[in-house]
Amino acid sequence: MTEKRLEALEPEQQELLNAAEKAMERGWNPRSNFVVGAAIRGKSGKIYTGANVTLSTTGMTACAEVAAFLAANMAGEREFTAIATIVRNDGMSVDAPSGPCGRCRQIIFEFSQMASVEPMLTLYSNTDKSRVIVATIEDYLPSPFLSGRLREKR
Ligand code: THU
């Protein structure tokens, strides 16, 4: 796990993070205004994006990462090489990059298992892209659960 600024990332990683930033425009969080954008790159090289949705009933939240995976799934792609996410709070900059929530750690891990290219790279950025945590999903989720069925599908 390392921390880099945008300019120090590989060009493809910069492109992915910039796509996540653009996806924040689609965040829908009328109560909290905490906006997350995500972008994932499929094995094909294509980028799929998602933004978080938080409804006023607090149980109704959908993470940006999940939205991006669902978009990719609907486009027929299930193998991924990298994911980037970026956050903003109430229109203001968030200085510290955050990591994926617990549920997303499992989701990213399971999707990463469907690719022959692994481990899946994760980029978690603060708002101005001056601090990007570059890691693998295994860094966030050691000793993960993997069902036998998923193992068979590989
Ligand atoms: N959220 C994400 O979209 N991704 C994360 O990795 C952490 C949290 C969302 C969920 C919810 O819409 C909001 O951020 C936090 O209230």
Domains of the chain, by residue range, sit at 2-138
Q: For 4-57, what is each residue's pLDDT tens digit?
A: 999 999 999 999 999 999 999 999 998 888 999 999 999 999 999 999 999 888
Measured CA to CA in angstroms, residue 39 lies from 15, 24, 36, 68 at distances of: 9, 10, 10, 6
Catalytic, 65? Answer yes
SS (H, E, C) 12-36: HHHHHHHHHHHHHHHCECCCCCEEE
Q: What is the CATH number of domain 2-138?
A: 3.40.140.10
Q: For 75-122, what is each residue's pLDDT tens digit?
A: 999 999 999 999 999 889 999 999 999 999 999 999 988 876 667 899
pTM: 0.93
36 lines ligand 1 (CB under 6 A): yes
Residue 35 CA, closest ligand 1 atom number: 14
